[in-house]
Amino acid sequence: MRWLTKRNLPKAVSIIVIVLIILVFFKLLGYLVHLSSKEILSTSDAFIFKAEEKIKLLISSSEAFFGTDLIKDNISISEQFLDKDTLLSNFGPTLNFLRSTITMMLMTAFFVVLWLAESINVHNLLNRTILKQKHTSIKTFMKIEKDLIKFIKVKVFVSLMTGIFTGLACYAFDVSFPIFWGLFAFIINFIQMVGSFMTVILLSIFAFVEVEVTSTLVFFIMSITGVQVMFGTILEPVFMGKSFSINIITVLVMLMLWGFIWGIPGLIMAIPITVFVKIILEQFPSTKLIAAILSKG
């Protein structure tokens, strides 16, 4: 937004532009969700039949190993595990979860617009007062802001590339719903470390149903794992730099803490909040030790 202001655009126009960009983003996101929904709903019964056969094969192997009966005679898996009452009982909580998640996203977007608008005033105020004195605190403030913006840019870029290449992998190996899986990988990748595991595990289970040849399934799993490793493990640390590195114990603790407080939005925001706190702690000599404990070393 400050970039728009430097182009001599009025503050009101800058806010309108930012709001329009956010609305276009959500419109595009909604369009992708709509395409994914149409893709899933238009699936023929062949996929359900194939999934039932694969699951029945696994259950039969489990029954032979454990010596128990999991499937009733003459009753299909879909009738036994996906009955109407079960679906209806789970439909309400699913809608409530989607509603709360969308509400949280819209509130976050609203506060981001306000924060961007107010940051211009803060910047101008500091320029007129403290900055003239070249006080150390203003340099700290500017570095925190610069690092935080860099973190957001890199995370969005890495998540976007992960989603695109995951969708392309699904398309190349003829796995159904490539748009859905690409969108899922993009969103879930914001959950540090856990998101990558969830994408690979869920997509591998889904591909197990669709891919008949074992070697093709192995290559597909290697492909989606390679996407996660390339963008999440190799490129992201290179783009981020050492100042954004956080050790695994800190990641797990923060995920549990913010996930407990805010649920799914908390899992997504846990690492950005931690990075923001770490950047602040690194700027002051008295708190550099705490920042060092949070980092990978």
With respect to residue 94, please indicate whether it lies within any of the assigned structural domains.
yes
Q: Is 65 or 173 the better-scoring residue by pLDDT?
A: 173
Q: Answer whether 275's CB lies under 8 Å from 225's CB.
A: no
Give the whole-angstrom CA distance, residue 159 versus residue 183: 10
Same domain, yes or no: 35 and 47? no
- Whether the per-residue pLDDT at 280 is higher than 70: the answer is yes
Give the whole-angstrom CA distance, residue 22 versus residue 116: 13
Same domain, yes or no: 21 and 32? yes
Q: Is 90 or 49 the better-scoring residue by pLDDT?
A: 49
Give the whole-angstrom CA distance, residue 294 versus residue 297: 8
What's the structural domain count of the chain? 2
φ, ψ dihedrals at 73, nearest 5°: -65, 140
- 238-266 pLDDT, tens digit each: 887 665 677 778 888 888 888 888 777 77
* Environment class of 193 (CB within 10 Å of its CB; exposed 0-12, middle 13-18, buried 19+): middle
- Whether the per-residue pLDDT at 7 is higher than 80: the answer is no
Same domain, yes or no: 124 and 47? no
Q: Answer whether 121's CB lies under 8 Å from 4's CB.
A: no
Same domain, yes or no: 31 and 48? no
Residue 71, domain extent: 43-76
- Whether the per-residue pLDDT at 2 is higher than 70: the answer is no
Q: Is the pTM of this model over 0.75?
A: no
Q: Is 42 or 161 the better-scoring residue by pLDDT?
A: 161
Percentage of the chain modeled with pLDDT above 70: 63
Same domain, yes or no: 11 and 64? no
- Whether the per-residue pLDDT at 114 is higher than 70: the answer is no
112-149: burial string, b at 16+ Cβ within 10 Å, e else:
ebeeebeebeebeebeeeebeeeeeebeebeeeeebee
With respect to residue 255, please indicate whether it lies within any of the assigned structural domains.
no
Same domain, yes or no: 51 and 123? no
Same domain, yes or no: 31 and 93? yes
Same domain, yes or no: 5 and 23? yes
Same domain, yes or no: 27 and 54? no
Mean pLDDT, rounded, for 66-76: 58
With respect to residue 111, please indicate whether it lies within any of the assigned structural domains.
yes
With respect to residue 194, please indicate whether it lies within any of the assigned structural domains.
no
With respect to residue 163, please indicate whether it lies within any of the assigned structural domains.
no
Same domain, yes or no: 71 and 51? yes
With respect to residue 50, please indicate whether it lies within any of the assigned structural domains.
yes
Ranges 78-87, 142-151, 194-203, 215-224: which has the least confidence: 78-87
Same domain, yes or no: 36 and 47? no
Looking up tokens 């390679």 gives 226
- 207-238 pLDDT, tens digit each: 888 887 778 889 999 999 999 999 988 888 78
With respect to residue 239, please indicate whether it lies within any of the assigned structural domains.
no
With respect to residue 104, please indicate whether it lies within any of the assigned structural domains.
yes
Percentage of the chain modeled with pLDDT above 90: 10
